[in-house]
Homo-oligomer: A and B are copies of this chain.
Amino acid sequence: MRTIAYIGTSLDGFIARKNGEIDWLIQFDSEEINQSYAKFSSGIDAILMGSGTFKKVLTFPDWFYHQKVFVLSSQIKTVPDNLKDKVTILSMPPKQALIYLSEKGYSNIYVDGGKVIQSFLKENLLDELIVTKVPMLIGNGIPLFGELDHDIPLEHLKTNLFANGLVMSHYKINRHNNP
């Protein structure tokens, strides 16, 4: 089983403004970026996100995930009717959610959302991290990374540059070497 975070941030490390807005981020959407996401997405068989990301995604005009989405949440109990076959709520800790997904036969898990990524890093559950830096400082907002009680060394696998100035770096976490 492999867990991968794929996320965009401002150069100063925010995934959204304090009010959740990502206007500064979506202005960098491009065909090149979409193709890159499609390539990443083709290697994924399930998506695990937090309630914040799920609520954000519900505001988008279309449901754009091809894979089954699992929402890690103890607050959210139900999903809209039109998404009942696409979304499952998992009210359990991250580690247990991974065991559940593994038992269901999923092996390449896209981990999405700031809080979920932070808890995966804290609990040493993340295998890969793909961070795309947008050429913009927004000064404050919701940070991608949070406090850790130990360093996490990363292995840089590759960096892709996009015509509109985005820098996408792909890191591997050798989590069996970590505490």
Contacts and interface: CB of A to CB of B under 8 A. Distances in A.
A28 B169 CA distance: 17
A113 interface: no
Stoichiometry, copies per complex: 2
Contacts of A151: 24, 136-139
Interface string A130-161: 01010111111000111111111111100101
Given A13-B12, A159-B167, A135 B153 contact: yes
A148 B165 CA distance: 21
A152 B171 contact: no
Contacts of A161: 156, 159
A166 B179 CA distance: 23
A121 interface: yes
A11 interface: yes
A13 to B, nearest CB: 5
Nearest to A153: B136
Contacts of A171: 11, 135
Contacts of A169: 133, 167
Contacts of A146: 139
Interface of A: 11-13, 24, 121, 131, 133, 135-140, 144-156, 159, 161, 165-167, 169, 171
7 contacts: A11-B171, A12-B144, A133-B169, A137-B151, A137-B152, A138-B148, A156-B166
